[in-house]
Amino acid sequence: MKTTIFAFTDSSPKYKQIYEQFKLLIEQGDIKVDEPLPSIRHLAQSLQVSRNTTLMAYEQLVAEGYIRGEGRVGFFVNEVEPLCFQEGRNSSHHEPIEPLSPVHIDFRADVVDQSHFPLQTWRRISNQVLTGKDSFRYGEPFGELCLREQISEYLLQSRGVRTDPHAIIIGSSTQQLLVYLGLVLKHDFSGMIVEDPGYDGAREAFQLNSFTLETLPVYETGADFSHLEHLKSRLIYVAPSHHSPYGVSMPIQQRHALIHWANKMQGYIIEDDYDSEFRYTQQPFPALASIDATRVIYLGNFSKCFLPGIRLSYMVLPQSLIDRYKNQFAHFESTTSLLSQFAMAKFMEAGEWNRHIKRMRLVYKRKMQCLVSELRRYFERDVSIIGEQSGLYLLVKVHLDRSEEWLIEQASIQGVRVYPTSRFFMKNRTDQPIIKIGFSNLSIEEIQFGVKLLKEAWS
């Protein structure tokens, strides 16, 4: 279609004028259903505006259903019912929903560093996997043996966990494994102790299986184990190596106390070891399962350390639960990709996994140090930094007498996305807002720019 029809005025932002004129053309039928729109780049050049301007206009049209994006093909017009523009409505003066400010820096914690991802190696191994005849069948219900063997070796080497490959269950995510595990455990247990604050995704999985939740208070300095003796449940879910969200690690005294509690109660500890590889001050702590595996259910994943989209997680069951679990799910299909399992097994066997972890530990350590340095430079005593020793994010407790919502909204206005921690808390809430800031997929320059924008937002 021709773009010469657009005539800008000075009365409103250009993206809004582009949006309004496209919407009017679609509603009047001047642009037909399924007709392609100009590309963002071509439209920007034709109108002599920035690509961000045309992108914002298109995003608003997509959000309201006028057009759709089809991958890399482009944008196309949707069918619009006459009801949307009849009854004398003056479409040219209709105000759109105001979009959020464009995002310059996104401090997400659930992404990994794209620039250091071993793309060529992973692609080569994945291509090799596709030539094998085993790749053209359904997967084993509890995971491919080749991957379970590699995980078994890795856990012994890195976490001190001795386990047989047949005790390892491969799943698509921690939540999925917790839901399945809950179906087995709820025959003998009705309650679950969870950390407060703690990983809300685990709580949702437990509640799906109707467990009654009791809470163990956790603070910036660690968990308060004095509450444990007053709780009735015999199951407990913890993240001892890197608490979510505080980032604190459980000392050896508490680890031994927790093992003693589980044996005394004849219960189980569910140990979520979700990102223990990234510790920047010392070596990763030994896992609870390395102390006594008889009462510990160990959970790990490849999402934080490698690639979230690979959807590979694993669980190590104590001997007393292996047969019960496998009998329950013997006739269920595997929930994760067979090809991803084969590729990861070869990746680990070739030594690429260990090389990747060592490389990324250095990369993330530099980013963490940069983020901490910039926060202290710009905010000084206005914030307290929590959890800088490990992980792919840190927490910022803000001493500005502002709410969590205000801090996030003001950051958004400046084009910065930061994230709440309120969803992690149940009863044990803090008196000052705490903001979660990830850094894994940002460059040093982006981290510096993002903190500068945060300072402007929160001033």
Taking only the tens place, the pLDDT of each residue in 119-156 is: 999 999 999 999 999 999 999 999 999 999 999 999 99
DSSP 285-297: PPPHHHH-GGGEE
Give the other-Cβ count within 10 Å of 383's Cβ. Answer: 21
**Helical residues (DSSP H) of 384-443, grouped into ranges:** 404-413
Q: What is the pLDDT of residues 46-70, one digit of tens each?
A: 888 898 888 988 988 888 888 999 8
- Say which range, 76-85, 395-404, 420-429, has the weakest mean pLDDT: 76-85
- Distance CA(176)–CA(171), nearest Å, equals 7
Q: What is the pLDDT of residues 356-392, one digit of tens each?
A: 999 999 999 999 999 999 999 999 999 999 999 999 9
Q: Are 222 and 250 in contact (CB under 8 A)?
A: yes
For residue 100, what pLDDT band results from cuts at 50, 70 and 90? low
- Distance CA(272)–CA(242), nearest Å, equals 9
Q: What is the pLDDT of residue 71?
A: 83
Q: Are 392 and 410 in contact (CB under 8 A)?
A: no
Pairing state of beta strands 191-196 and 212-219? parallel
pTM: 0.77
The helix (run of H) or strand (run of E) holding residue 395 is: strand 393-398
Q: What is the mean pLDDT of residues 104-109?
A: 95
Domains and CATH numbers, the chain: 14-99 (1.10.10.10), 106-115+360-458 (3.90.1150.10), 119-354 (3.40.640.10)
- Distance CA(216)–CA(428), nearest Å, equals 9
**Cβ-proximal residues to 166 (8 Å cutoff; 6+ apart), any chain:** 148, 322
For residue 29, what pLDDT band results from cuts at 50, 70 and 90? confident
Written as one letter, the residue type at 321 is L
For residue 276, what pLDDT band results from cuts at 50, 70 and 90? confident
- Say which range, 76-85, 245-254, 445-454, has the weakest mean pLDDT: 76-85
